[in-house]
Amino acid sequence: MAGVSFSSGKKWVSVHAPGAYRLLRTIYRSRTLEILGCVPFYPLHRRRQTRNGPYFAFDVFSRMGMGAMLTHTVRLLKHVEASGKAPAIAFTNPLYTDQPGRDWFGDYFVLLSANDPPRGLNYLKIAHEYSAGAFPVPARLDLAEAHRVFCKYVEIRPEIHRIVDGLTRGLPEGRFDLSIHYRGTDKSVEAPTVPYEEVAAKLDHLIRDGLPVRTVFLATDDMKFAAHVTSVFSGLRFVSYYAGEAGAAPGEPRHFSSLSGADKAIEALVNMVAIGRSPVCIRTSSHLSAWSKILNPGMQTFTLNRPHDWMPQFPEAEIADLEAREARSPTHARAARVGPRAESVAP
């Protein structure tokens, strides 16, 4: 399989050897592997952070999507808050820059700190959920708590919000009536594929149940799905945002495509914020729209699949728990008809 990307390799194994794939995922997620992989580095990580004085510094440098990066970030920020230190954040993930090794965090985010972190800090390199094992970083956070912690330390730059303002210009209250996030391409490796018809049926159900829908924000990397849903609901207005070409190579996730790093970053963040500019979201499992929910905790979500992993992971586990509670609530039916009021996601 020379020349095959890691993502496509995972997908090949999951399709052709599902039993082996599940076993490998179980091993990868195991507490034993976490301990074996991290314990040798604990003393080094702790000593390097001690040298940072009042700062806890970390760099999300591995190849992962924007939502996954923010998931690592908010968990680390919760630890920062508990430790009483100030955060220093770097993002050198090569997917979102065309200059390898460059820290691009400040291009799209503002660190809400009285003082800029000094040069020469020792940054903890975050490649996966085990990277911070030397520190008491929480594995899970309540969604409202994740919103509070993130907004305490970080803002998405106004330039991103201005793009979303342009997409919602002229709409009542500057928001969409509903958003849809349909993740195709490699997402079948992480969660079951949702048939197009199931998404359409859910939208039809909400409309028939009284949800007023005229304008829909549609975020998807599957152009066939986009064509399907816009054809079925031809009476609705659909708005989407693509920073570069609307399609990547067949089966290729956009954050692994040949789009420029800046286009990938802007597109991910605009979609994340725009999805949150609606009271209701129909979604498939993904860190991106999970972060729309974190940015706007008042948005009601309907998730049409769940991750394959047997071990619940933040924030999908929290979204699943909340949706289950809402489904049992006597006020759920009314909320589904009228939709909750969207909270502001602007800075």
What confidence tens digit (pLDDT) does each residue in 53-84 have? 999 999 999 999 999 999 999 999 999 999 99
17 belongs to a structural domain? no
On whether the CB atoms of residues 56 and 88 are closer than 8 A, the answer is yes
Report which of residues 12 and 31 the model is more confident about.
12
Pick the last residue of a domain from 156, 182, 207.
156
Report which of residues 60 and 27 the model is more confident about.
60
On whether the CB atoms of residues 293 and 315 are closer than 8 A, the answer is yes
Do 211 and 317 sit in the same domain of this protein? yes
212 belongs to a structural domain? yes
As a whole number of Å, the CA-based R_g of the chain is: 20
Do 177 and 321 sit in the same domain of this protein? yes
CB-based burial, 186-196: b 16+ in 10 Å, e otherwise: bbbbbbeebeb
Average per-residue pLDDT for the chain: 86
CB neighbours (10 Å) of residue 59? 21
Do 276 and 248 sit in the same domain of this protein? yes
6 belongs to a structural domain? no
Q: What is the pLDDT of residue 342?
A: 44
184: Cβ contacts below 8 Å, ≥ 6 apart: 193, 220, 221, 222, 224, 225
56: Cβ contacts below 8 Å, ≥ 6 apart: 49, 76, 79, 80, 83, 85, 86, 87, 88, 124
Do 98 and 192 sit in the same domain of this protein? no
When pLDDT is averaged across residues 187-210 and rounded to a whole number, the result is 90
Domain extent, residue 293, equals 158-338
Do 320 and 206 sit in the same domain of this protein? yes
Do 188 and 252 sit in the same domain of this protein? yes
Do 241 and 164 sit in the same domain of this protein? yes
Element (H, E) at 126: strand 124-126
Report which of residues 153 and 4 the model is more confident about.
153
Do 61 and 148 sit in the same domain of this protein? yes
**Count of domains observed in the chain:** 2
Q: What is the pLDDT of residue 117?
A: 93
Do 315 and 176 sit in the same domain of this protein? yes
Report which of residues 7 and 294 the model is more confident about.
294
296 belongs to a structural domain? yes
Q: What is the pLDDT of residue 332?
A: 54
Q: β-strand 55-60 against 124-126: which pairing, if any?
A: parallel
* Nearest CA among 250, 284, 291 for reference residue 268: 291
pLDDT for residue 162 is more than 90: yes
User: Interior CA angle at 257 toward 256 and 260, to 5°?
Assistant: 105
15 belongs to a structural domain? no
